Structure 1
Amino acid sequence: MADRTIVCKDCSKEFVFTEGEQEFYKEKGFENDPVRCPECRKARKAQSNNNRGFRR
């Protein structure tokens, strides 16, 4: 397995899906590659948590 470059579907920036991350996804049973960069994933998760009434 080699590092792969993916384009974020939200911000259109390229990000690297490392070999280690690919192994992690495989171990967790995830079948799809990430479609968002780490920054957009973090922002989306924070927004989702805010909409559910969670506090941090």
Structure 2
Amino acid sequence: MEDKKIICRDCNQEFVFTVGEQEFYKEKGFENEPVRCPDCRRARKAQKFDNRR
């Protein structure tokens, strides 16, 4: 296994999906790789949280 470079769906920036993250995803049973960079993931999560208020 090796680090993978992925282009973010939202901002089109390249980010690295590290071996450690890949192992974490596999451990949690996630089948899909992330489609957003960590910054966009955080922003999306915060937006969902704000919408619940």
Q: Tell me the TM-score normalized by structure 1.
A: 0.94
* Counterpart residue number, 1:17: 17
Identity of aligned residues (%): 72
Q: Structure 2: where are the runs of 5+ without partners?
A: none
Cα deviation, residue 27, structure 1:
0.1
Runs of 4+ that moved beyond 6 A: none
* Counterpart residue number, 1:39: 39
Q: Structure 1: where are the runs of 5+ without partners?
A: none
| Structure index of larger Rg | 1
Instruction: Give the superposed CA RMSD.
Output: 0.2
Cα deviation, residue 17, structure 1:
0.1
Equivalent residue letter for 2:11: C
Equivalent residue letter for 1:27: E
Q: Deviations over 1:8-35 (max 9, x none)?
A: 0000000000000000000000000000
